[in-house]
């Protein structure tokens, strides 16, 4: 059995509401966690106990510096140390390569997300490819908001192809804006969550933030802009080329998508797949891959992804 001392002043923050953080720790690592006063006792698998001890000790140390430890920070710390038991949590949560504006808005939830933020900060064009729940779009929107807040760009342009699940714009009610809004809703949701409804509304009214379907990008040159193309698996190669050549001076571009969820007709090649075939290896362009292990939504999301992957693998094996 191992014991960890947590100063009384920080115990409530580390333990969480009704000690929910300690219960999460015990369930995730399959160990026993008992807290009495300022002492937390850990018992069980040595590796799990070691990770739990480091989580508690390093978060307690961070709390003394004024870092706000909450439920999400606790779960992030555990996830990071599960991936890399030697990771330095202080360095993770205070990464100098992540823009200051991001630290106030979004905290990466695992090592892969941290690396993604660093990559977007460093490269001019980044393709983020992976399953739902890995934070691709949310983090990209957060980086766009940070670039705007730090005045590294003058505007944000967010776009998606207006095609999903066999639907077409002509079947939807309303004018063009009303027709495309359902497709762009996830982008709006991320912006509202990060910047707040009122600030987003003001930026959209002034043209500082522009949210539009991909077709509206044709013929434009986007200087001093952070541009995000979401759901890029549903672009055609021609649309992808058109989008990438919109990039102007002093700009940054992020393309996100999941190549396992292409809604194009079966005989059409995804622009995202095609782009990787011809652009990978070019200096300044980075392809960043997320996997099912990087899912940070509800634990059932990862199980859903696993189940679909198994089903697809079995169909491929059976030749059907």
- Tens digits of residue pLDDT in 133-168: 898 999 999 999 999 988 999 999 999 887 653 445
Among 43, 232, 213, which Cα is nearest to 125's? 232
Q: What pTM was estimated for this model as a whole?
A: 0.74
Cα dihedral 273, 278, 280, 286 in deg (nearest 10): -70
pLDDT tens sequence across 52-63: 999 999 998 888
pLDDT at residue number 38: 83
pLDDT at residue number 167: 44
Residue predicted with more confidence, 144 or 100: 144
Average pLDDT, the chain: 86
Among 93, 88, 123, 97, which Cα is nearest to 106's? 93
pLDDT at 317 over 80: no
Span 86-107, average pLDDT = 75
Among 45, 91, 98, which Cα is nearest to 67's? 91
SS (H, E, C) 85-150: CCCCHHHHHCCCCCCHHHHHHCCCCCHHHHHHHHHHHHCCEEEEECCCCCCHHHHHHHHHHHHHHC
DSSP string, 58-88: HHHHHHHTT----HHHHHHHHHHHHH-TT--
pLDDT at 242 over 80: yes
For strand 225-229 and strand 155-160, is the pairing parallel, antiparallel, or unpaired? parallel
pLDDT at residue number 5: 87
Span 103-112, average pLDDT = 77
237: burial class by Cβ within 10 Å (0-12, 13-18, 19+)?
middle
Q: Is the Cβ–Cβ distance between 132 and 301 less than 8 Å?
A: yes
Which range scores top for mean pLDDT: 103-112, 267-276, 293-302?
267-276
pLDDT at 170 over 70: no
Q: CA angle 271-282-127, nearest 5°?
A: 45
Span 208-225, average pLDDT = 90
Residue written as tokens 């193309």?
229
Span 40-55, average pLDDT = 92
Residue predicted with more confidence, 99 or 116: 116
pLDDT at 307 over 70: yes
Residue predicted with more confidence, 249 or 301: 249
87 vs 35: CA distance, rounded Å: 25
Q: Is the Cβ–Cβ distance between 120 and 254 less than 8 Å?
A: yes
- Least confident residue range of 56-60, 75-79, 247-251, 290-294: 290-294
pLDDT at residue number 293: 78
pLDDT at residue number 246: 94
227 vs 140: CA distance, rounded Å: 9
HSE-up (13 A, CA, CB side) for residue 304? 10
């Amino acid at each position: 059995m191992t014991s960890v001392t947590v100063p009384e002043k920080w115990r409530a923050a580390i333990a969480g509401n009704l000690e929910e953080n300690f219960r999460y720790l015990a369930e995730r690592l399959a160990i026993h966690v008992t807290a009495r006063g300022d002492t937390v006792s850990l018992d069980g698998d040595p590796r799990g106990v070691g990770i739990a001890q480091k989580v508690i000790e390093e978060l307690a140390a961070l709390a003394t510096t004024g870092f706000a430890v909450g439920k999400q920070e606790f779960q992030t710390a555990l996830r990071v140390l599960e991936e890399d038991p030697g990771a330095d949590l202080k360095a993770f949560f205070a990464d100098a390569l992540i823009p200051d504006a991001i630290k106030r808005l979004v905290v990466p939830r695992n090592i892969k997300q941290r690396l993604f933020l660093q990559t977007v900060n460093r490269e001019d064009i980044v393709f983020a490819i992976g399953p739902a729940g890995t934070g691709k779009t949310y983090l990209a929107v957060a980086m766009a908001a940070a670039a705007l807040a730090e005045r590294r760009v003058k505007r944000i342009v967010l776009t998606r192809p207006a095609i999903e699940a066999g639907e077409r714009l002509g079947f939807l009610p309303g004018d063009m804006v009303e027709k495309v809004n359902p497709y762009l809703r996830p982008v709006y949701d991320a912006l509202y969550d990060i910047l707040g409804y009122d600030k987003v509304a003001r930026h959209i009214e002034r043209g500082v933030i522009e949210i539009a379907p991909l077709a509206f990008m044709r013929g434009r040159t986007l200087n001093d802009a952070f541009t995000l193309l979401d759901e890029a698996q549903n672009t055609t190669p021609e649309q992808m080329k058109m989008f990438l050549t919109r990039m102007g001076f002093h700009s940054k571009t992020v393309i996100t998508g999941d190549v396992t969820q292409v809604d194009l007709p079966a005989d059409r090649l995804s622009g995202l797949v095609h782009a990787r075939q011809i652009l990978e290896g070019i200096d300044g362009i980075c392809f960043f891959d997320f996997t099912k292990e990087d899912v940070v939504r509800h634990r059932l999301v990862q199980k859903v992804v696993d189940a679909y992957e198994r089903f697809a693998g079995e169909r491929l094996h059976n030749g059907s």
